A and B are shown apart, each in its own frame.
Chain A
Amino acid sequence: MKFGVVVFPGSNCEADCFYVLNEVLGADVEYVWHAEKDLGRYDCLVLPGGFSYGDYLRAGAIARFSPVMEALKEFGERGKFIIGICNGFQVLLEAGLLPGAMLWNESLHFICRFVHLRLENDSTPWTHRGSKGMVLRIPIAHQQGNYYADEKTLRELEEGGRVILRYCDPSGEVTREANPNGSVGNIAGICNEGFNVFGLMPHPERASEEVLGSTDGLVIWRSIMEHIS
Chain B
Amino acid sequence: MAELYEELGLTESEYRDIVRILGREPNKVELGMYSLMWSEHCSYKSSKTILAQLPTRASYVLQGPGENAGVIDIGGGLAVAFKMESHNHPSAVEPYQGAATGVGGIVRDIFTMGARPIACLDPLRFGNPAKRRTRYLLTGVVAGIAGYGNCIGVPTVGGDLYFEDCYDENPLVNVMCIGILPKERLVRGVARGVGNAVVLIGNRTGRDGIGGASILASQEFDERSEEKRPSVQVGDPFTEKLLIEACLELLDKGLILGLQDLGAAGLSCACSETAARGGVGMRIHLDRVPLREEMEPFEIVISESQERMLAVAEPQKVEEVMAVCHKWGLNAVVIGEVIEGDRLEVYWYGEKVAEVPPSTLASGPVYDRAAERPSYLDQVAGADLSGLKHPDDMEDVLIRLITSPNLCSRRWVYEQYDHMVQLNTVVYPGSDAAVLRIKGTSKGIAVSCDCNSRYVYLDPYLGTQIAVAEAARNVVASGAVPMALTNCLNFGSPERPDIFYQFKEAVRGLADAARSFEIPVVSGNVSFYNESFGMAVYPTPVVGMVGLIGNLNHRRTLAFPGEGLAIVLLGKTREEIGGSEYLKVIHGMVVGRPPALDLELEKAAQAVCIEGIRRGWILSAHDLSEGGMAVALAECCCAGKVGARVDLDDGMHPVFWLFSESQSRFLVTSRPEDLDELRGLAESRGVPFRVLGKTIGDRLVIGDLVDLPVEEIANLREEAFLKLVEG
Residues of A whose CB lies within 8 Å of any CB of B are 9-10, 12-13, 15-16, 19-20, 23, 49-51, 53-56, 109-113, 139, 141, 143, 203, 205-206, 209, 211-213
Complex interface: chain B residues within 8 A of A9 (CB): 238, 241-242, 328-329
Complex interface: chain B residues within 8 A of A111 (CB): 415-416
**Do residues B415 and A113 form an inter-chain contact, with CB atoms below 8 A?**
yes
Which size class do B's interface residues fall under? 20 to 34
Q: Is B236 an interface residue (CB 8 A)?
A: yes
**Cα distance A23–B633 in the bound complex, in angstroms:** 40
Complex interface: chain B residues within 8 A of A15 (CB): 422
Q: Is B423 an interface residue (CB 8 A)?
A: yes
Q: Can you list 9 pairs linking A and B with CB atoms under 8 Å apart?
A: A10-B238, A10-B242, A50-B153, A51-B150, A110-B416, A112-B418, A141-B418, A211-B552, A213-B428
Complex interface: chain A residues within 8 A of B152 (CB): 12
**Do residues B151 and A10 form an inter-chain contact, with CB atoms below 8 A?**
yes
**Cα distance A9–B151 in the bound complex, in angstroms:** 11
**Cα distance A12–B415 in the bound complex, in angstroms:** 18
Apart from A16-B421, A54-B237, what are 19 other A-B pairs with CB-CB below 8 Å? A9-B241, A10-B151, A10-B241, A12-B153, A12-B241, A13-B421, A16-B423, A51-B151, A53-B238, A109-B415, A109-B416, A110-B147, A111-B416, A112-B150, A112-B420, A113-B415, A203-B420, A206-B423, A211-B426
Complex interface: chain B residues within 8 A of A113 (CB): 415
Q: Contact check: which of B151, B328, B329, B439 meets A19 at CB < 8 Å?
A: B439
**Cα distance A143–B151 in the bound complex, in angstroms:** 11
Residues of B whose CB lies within 8 Å of any CB of A are 143, 146-147, 150-153, 236-239, 241-242, 328-329, 414-423, 425-426, 428, 437, 439, 552
Complex interface: chain B residues within 8 A of A20 (CB): 423
Complex interface: chain A residues within 8 A of B552 (CB): 211
**Cα distance A20–B421 in the bound complex, in angstroms:** 13
CB distance from A21 to the nearest CB of B (A): 12
**Do residues B419 and A51 form an inter-chain contact, with CB atoms below 8 A?**
no
Q: Contact check: which of A54, A109, A112, A211 meets B419 at CB < 8 Å?
A: A112
**Do residues B423 and A19 form an inter-chain contact, with CB atoms below 8 A?**
yes
**Do residues A51 and B237 form an inter-chain contact, with CB atoms below 8 A?**
yes
Interface centre among A56, A205, A206, A209, by most B CB within 10 Å? A206
Complex interface: chain B residues within 8 A of A141 (CB): 150, 418, 420-421
Complex interface: chain B residues within 8 A of A112 (CB): 150, 414-420
Interface centre among B146, B153, B239, by most A CB within 10 Å? B153
CB distance from A92 to the nearest CB of B (A): 20
CB distance from A125 to the nearest CB of B (A): 25
Complex interface: chain B residues within 8 A of A19 (CB): 423, 439
**Do residues B236 and A205 form an inter-chain contact, with CB atoms below 8 A?**
no
CB distance from A120 to the nearest CB of B (A): 25
CB distance from B592 to the nearest CB of A (A): 39
**Cα distance A197–B425 in the bound complex, in angstroms:** 30
CB distance from A142 to the nearest CB of B (A): 9
Complex interface: chain A residues within 8 A of B416 (CB): 109-112
Nearest-neighbor residue (CB-CB) of B423 within chain A: A16
**Cα distance A217–B16 in the bound complex, in angstroms:** 67
CB distance from A89 to the nearest CB of B (A): 16
Nearest-neighbor residue (CB-CB) of A209 within chain B: B423
CB distance from A146 to the nearest CB of B (A): 16
Complex interface: chain B residues within 8 A of A23 (CB): 439
Nearest-neighbor residue (CB-CB) of B329 within chain A: A9
Nearest-neighbor residue (CB-CB) of A207 within chain B: B420
Complex interface: chain B residues within 8 A of A49 (CB): 421
Complex interface: chain B residues within 8 A of A56 (CB): 238
**Cα distance A49–B439 in the bound complex, in angstroms:** 20
CB distance from B323 to the nearest CB of A (A): 14
CB distance from B224 to the nearest CB of A (A): 32
Complex interface: chain B residues within 8 A of A213 (CB): 428
**Cα distance A19–B421 in the bound complex, in angstroms:** 12
